[in-house]
Amino acid sequence: MKNFIGVLFFAAIVNAFSFSWEVVDEKLQKPMPDWMQKQIEEDLEPFYERGVALEEIELTMREVYEIPSGWFAGLVHFCIRDNQVFVSSLSENLEDVRISHVVEVLNDLARHVSLPNVDFLISLWDSYDHPLYLEKTYCPVFTICKLRHNKKGVLFPEFRHFSYRKRLFDDIVKTNDVCPWKTKIEKAFWRGMTSGWNYTLYDWDLRPRSRLVLLSQLKPDLVDAFFTSAFSLDLEIEEIMQSYHCFTSWEYPTSFVPYKYLVSIDGNTFASNFWWQLLSNSTVLKMDSDYLEWFYKGVLAFEHYVPFSDDLGDFEEKVMWLRSHDGKAFQIAEKASLFAKEHLSNESLVVYFYRLLQAYAALLY
């Protein structure tokens, strides 16, 4: 791990990134929100007493990759020295957008602020939770998602698809202006892929997403839910699901905003639509889950969203409750949208990452 490959050449495409430095700077001048400080402190707390040594970063990389499946951990070593960014990996293509987009953010930050001199590991997977990996992890590993009791993972925002994310953010805000609450359709709505690990003949209909789609067939007045693509499905399973009319065409998310209730339901790990659903001025029905993202300490059940169980046993009850408490449903949607506008823009993701690096740097020795 001593021979880093410089990635400063990525700076040439940083202009394609979609965030305003003026807004970032404005946010950096403000005190850190309580929820943000608590999340960073909780993630780093297991390392407060003993700190983090460079040798532990190198040892983690080496020992995780000695595990038979260790190469799938997707570990990447980032090094920042004197505002220059370098990366190294034993397994990953350094031009992967999951790497290059992090570098782009760091390079743009380096043009405006002084970055701390740090070394850190990022896992490119959806989460970093394999017990065999964690047993051989001696330092924090940055990850976009982790299970609730994971003490080795440190949550950070995903920077992939930043341009799309910016466009979607702006488009939903505009759609909100022409789609007031009183005109919205009083029904739950969901679209997504067949993610959620392998769907097999004997259990495809037990998956939470399948349960929701099948419930839509039984109670179309309650929920409108369909798969939009057959992700990682065997042909036999796809044909069976097609026979149950589980699929429809993909639509841009602004077409979901006219529904009062939007469903956020886990796939392989976290539900990637949760952030923009919070922005939508619709009430989000979120599946109970132990998977966490970086901003979850800022949102609370029945204040920013309404939870439902992963077996959907209470889903109908929750939709009926929302219908009978329309004023409360509107308050939840409005509070969620205000949070998302303030804290889930691209600029806010950059600010969180910078604050995290500052706190993390204090642990290195």
Which residue in this structure is represented by tokens 């017990």? Answer: 131
**H/E segment holding residue 122:** strand 118-123
Task: Tell me the CB-side half-sphere exposure of residue 321, using CA atoms within 13 A.
Answer: 13
Residue 306 tokens read as 């309404």
pLDDT at 4: 62
Q: Which residues pair with 192 in a beta bridge?
A: 227
The pLDDT of residue 16 is 47
Q: What's the pLDDT at 13?
A: 46
Q: How far is CA 121 from CA 99, 126, 137, 201, in A?
A: 11, 15, 10, 38
Closest CA to 110 of 357, 364, 363: 357
Task: Tell me the sheet residues that pair with 224.
Answer: 189
DSSP 8-state symbol, 114:
P
User: Looking at residue 227, what DSSP letter applies?
Assistant: E
| Token pair listed for 347 | 């600029």
How high is the pLDDT of residue 18?
Answer: 77
Task: Output the CA torsion sign for 116, 120, 123, 129.
Answer: negative
Which domains are delineated in the chain? 5-157+346-361 (no CATH), 163-293+296-343 (3.40.50.2000)
Count Cβ atoms below 10 Å from residue 289 Cβ, excluding itself.
19
Query: What are the mean pLDDT values of the chain's consecutive 10-residue runs (365 residues total)?
Result: 49 57 96 98 97 98 97 97 97 94 94 97 97 98 98 96 94 97 98 92 94 98 97 93 97 98 97 97 98 98 98 98 98 98 98 98 97
Query: Is the pTM value of this prediction over 0.75?
Result: yes
**pLDDT of amino acid 196:** 87
Instruction: Look at residues 243, 235, 239, 251 and name the one whose alpha carbon lies nearest to residue 192.
Output: 251
d(CA 151, CA 143): 12
Q: Measured between alpha carbons, how far apart are the two ends of the chain, in Å? A: 17
